Structure 1
Amino acid sequence: MAIELVRDYFKELGIAYKILEFETSSATVELAAQALNVEPGRIAKTLSFKIEDHCILVVAAGDAKIDNPKFKATFGVKAKMLTPEEVLEQVGHAVGGVCPFGIPENVSVFLDESLKRFETVFPACGSSNSAIELTIEELYTYANGQGWIDVSKGWE
């Protein structure tokens, strides 16, 4: 299971104990916010996009939506999300548990500016009923972030 990849990744960093697992689903922003009793914006959702022949991940605040003109200005192509099958194949996590941890080295991770207004956020951990609380700096570091980008709207 993908959560085991994430757990192994965080074991190497000494923080596997911080992974939270829930009795209920946290597969959507709304469900995760309910499970954690936090506002939806603090859920760090990981979105998978196709850029030419490879995949990138964009981690954004739960209340942010992708702004297509900003995305195209940043990456030079129209935003095209991967299908659930492509996500599982290329990222190694199923939709509902996609996260920027325990992923193939050829998958680049970018963090959206919408996250910077929070001290801590909650990304998933590879399953549809898991999360971990990380500071913004920890998220950037542990996700091997390639940079901060501004490709979202609706959260301002």
Structure 2
Amino acid sequence: MSIEAVEAFFKEKQVSHQIVLLEESSATVSLAAEALKATERQIAKTLAFNVNDESIVIVACGTAKIDNRKFKDTFHTKAKMMSYEETLEKTGHPVGGACPFGLPKQVKIYLDESLKQSEEVYPAAGSPHAVVKMSLPELAEITEGEWVDVCRE
């Protein structure tokens, strides 16, 4: 179901990127980097949070970690990641396949500054076995994500 939501999103946005289905899992940054023969920095991981009764996702560089102080300064609340079940329920994507594509309209998308270390990135595409390769400007345009600085290396 989740890959289909991503495909429908791409069709609606008139995006011609092909979703790559991997035999290996890309559910973690290291697995994805190995399967794609890419660096861990190129993996665009999507993290889901509850922020003041709203659902948000933050797309960050694969080697970045949430900086609690920066997060609180930006969102005025403590970082609370969604559980596995909540992530699936609120984004429509499972953990390991969570991505900024095909999300329900009420989920706000943020892009972390850490992504700017790479010209091309590999976000998941709705499944732990699905990814898409795109340039950073394409990711920003397609997702209409808001840039934030909430991570550290």
Gap runs ≥5 in structure 2: none
The aligned length equals 153
Gap runs ≥5 in structure 1: none
Letter of the 1:33 partner, please give it: A
Contact preservation (8 Å) 2:17, 2:132: no
Asked whether 1:30 is paired with 2:30, we answer yes
Encode CA deviations 1:93-118: one digit per residue, 9 max, x unaligned: 01010000000000000000000121
Q: CA deviation at 1:139?
A: 0.6
Match of 1:117 in 2: 117
Change (3 A) 1:139 1:17: closer
Letter of the 2:147 partner, please give it: W
Q: CA deviation at 1:144?
A: 2.1
Match of 2:127 in 1: 127
* 1:32 match: secondary structure: helix
Q: Within 2, Cα distance between the matches of 1:140 and 1:61?
A: 14
Aligned-residue Cα RMSD (Å) equals: 1.1
Q: Within 2, Cα distance between the matches of 1:16 and 1:5?
A: 15
Match of 1:63 in 2: 63
Encode CA deviations 1:64-113: one digit per residue, 9 max, x unaligned: 00000000000000100001111111111010100000000000000000
**TM-score, with length taken from structure 2:** 0.96
* 1:18 match: secondary structure: coil
Contact preservation (8 Å) 2:121, 2:136: yes
Q: CA deviation at 1:53?
A: 1.1
Asked whether 1:72 is paired with 2:72, we answer yes
Change (3 A) 1:17 1:110: closer
Alignment of 1:4-153 (within 5 A): 4-145=4-145, 147-153=146-152
Q: Within 1, Cα distance between the matches of 2:72 and 2:8?
A: 35
* 2:45 match: secondary structure: strand
Encode CA deviations 1:14-51: one digit per residue, 9 max, x unaligned: 44552111011111111110110001010000000111
Q: Within 2, Cα distance between the matches of 1:42 and 1:12?
A: 26
Identity score, percent: 50
Instruction: List structure 1 segments (4+ residues) > 2 angstroms apart after TM superposition.
Output: 11-17
**TM-score, with length taken from structure 1:** 0.94
